[in-house]
Amino acid sequence: MAKSSSLVTKVSVQRRRRVHRSRRSPTKPERAAAADTFGSLAGCPSSPEYPVVPDLDDCVVDTAVDDAPVVAAEAAGRRASDETLAVHAGEKLGSGAAETDSIATPIVSGTTHWFRDSADLIAFREGWRRSFEYGRYGNPTVKVLEEKISALERAETTLVTSSGMNAIVATLLALVPPGGHVVVTADCYSEARAFIHDKLSKMGITSTFVDLDDDMEALESVLDEDEVTMFYADSMTNPHLKVVDVARVAELCHRRGALVCIDSTLASPINQKPLALGADVVLHSATKYIAGHHDVIAGCVSGSEALISRIRAWHHDLGGAISPNAAYMIIRGLKTLALRVEAQNRTALRMARLLEKHPKIERVYYPGLESSPWHGVATRQMAGAGGVVSFEVASDMRGVMRFVDALELPLIATSLGGCESLVQQPAVMSYWGKSEEEKAKNGIKDNFVRFSFGIEKFEDLRDDILQALEKI
């Protein structure tokens, strides 16, 4: 017993010493070893490919952090992959805004941050002391999430908001002044479309809705005739999965001084990077693929510091701050984003090919199919075609309802991009009660189905869909 007690005491003392031992600066050999071990995890290089630039007012920087792995990776000309950035950006590879050596990002729930003295406050106000002040203006946990998304989008900075719609409203109010003109694709998110048409018009902002199904002539015509402030579009669109040629649109708009804003929710940062294609601002409903678990509502907008700072000012007034708890849940979900999206891409493409050949399916909408009119542009600008497949069943409304009800795995629900597969028949969900004229204008038929594939095994989903089609 005496030996046992002595051993326990000895071990305890050793652990205390290890915890409280002061840290020394690493030697050159140690730095070299660290570079060899972690050099592939490119951190925050100054290259525009991964320019995570922290906001002066919204983050804390520990200048003692060892950046040898970052320097080594930059010197070697490497950049971390999306898979690695999704795990480490904003935490190991970032400003270290949460100031901790915990592997898991801490949830900083405090709403108010204090200053050591007046000089500390003045330093913060003048921009050379990086800190936080009040939760509506910034939070350490939220900052980690913003840096992570910035890394994935190759953006200078990102603003995370309480919802996708909040991000859309703040962006439009900040970047389109009274008297401005917005060109909008006719099939953008319905609530964004309504806000632009109904609300912005009351502020003296005009709008033109164009259809880019065939070519760019409609857009070019508007750009030639009017002074356009912004082009706004979803790519991919919901639910018909059309793909905007972002590079071509950016070329046309920038030539005439117009900004380009892309809602890339259905593509995710893994499948598409609009900023790299020439867009000025990229939006997401982070509720969908980014969070990925149907358990948190959030939005985000990424772009240059110059543009996002204007949006952030409006966001502060609108009060759409996300809670630190919600930010943590998204950070945790983001770690598997690349894995989830890869699985969803693969399942959706295989299922789209199968459905395209099925005798009870009239048409399949999916840009990953060679038969899709959007396949060419999707191939040029996307790494994958996403996890949503829409199709028309060879039946009437009641027949399609029987098909949907016979499915055993997917849940009948709105939203998309999560781990669980979801299915909906828009005619009896989002367009229920709408006139036939409105449904026709938006390409919604009674036999139209939108299927958001989760991460279940392909064979299980395949068998479920095939047995449900037999019920028609």
Considering the domain 82-333 in this protein, what is its CATH number?
3.40.640.10
Distance CA 263, CA 254 (A): 18
* pLDDT, tens digit (0-9, with 9 covering 90-100), for 160-216: 999 999 999 999 999 999 999 999 998 999 999 999 999 999 999 999 999 887 668
* pLDDT, tens digit (0-9, with 9 covering 90-100), for 244-258: 999 999 999 999 999
pLDDT of residue 65: 32
pLDDT of residue 97: 57
Q: CB neighbours of 352 closer than 8 A, spacing ≥ 6?
A: 364, 366, 368, 369, 389, 391
Q: CB neighbours of 84 closer than 8 A, spacing ≥ 6?
A: 40, 41, 42
pLDDT of residue 111: 84
- Contact predicate 105/331, CB 8 Å: yes
pLDDT of residue 436: 79
- Active-site annotation holds for 187: no
Report H helices in 278-396: 305-318, 324-334, 337-356, 375-381
pLDDT of residue 285: 98
Torsion sign over Cα 158, 333, 73, 284: negative
- Active-site annotation holds for 441: no
pLDDT of residue 96: 59
Question: Which of 50, 58, 154, 189 is labelled catalytic?
Answer: 189
* pLDDT, tens digit (0-9, with 9 covering 90-100), for 416-457: 999 999 999 998 887 777 777 877 777 889 999 999 999 999
Q: For Cα atoms 315, 318, 321, give the angle at the middle one, nearest 5 degrees.
A: 65
Which of 448, 429, 259 shows the shortest CA–CA distance to 361? Answer: 448
pLDDT of residue 440: 75
pLDDT of residue 78: 64
DSSP 294-311: SS---EEEEE-HHHHHHH
Burial class (CB in 10 A: 0-12, 13-18, 19+), 254: middle
Distance CA 280, CA 274 (A): 8
Domain map (residue ranges) of the chain? 82-333, 338-470
Distance CA 325, CA 298 (A): 12
Look up the pTM and report it. 0.81
- Active-site annotation holds for 396: no
Pick among 3.40.1410.10, 3.30.70.150, 3.40.640.10, 3.90.1150.10: CATH of 338-470: 3.90.1150.10
Which of 207, 202, 97 shows the shortest CA–CA distance to 142? Answer: 97
Question: Which of 148, 154, 248, 288 is labelled catalytic?
Answer: 288
- Active-site annotation holds for 434: no
Question: Which of 245, 263, 280, 446 is labelled catalytic?
Answer: 263
DSSP annotation of 417 reads S
Which of 271, 320, 282 shows the shortest CA–CA distance to 298? Answer: 320
Query: What is the token pair recorded at 118?
Result: 């007046």
pLDDT of residue 95: 65
Gyration radius of the chain's alpha carbons: 25
Question: Which of 78, 136, 353, 462 is labelled catalytic?
Answer: 136
Q: Which residues in the chain land under pLDDT 50?
A: 1-76
Q: What type of residue is 45?
A: P
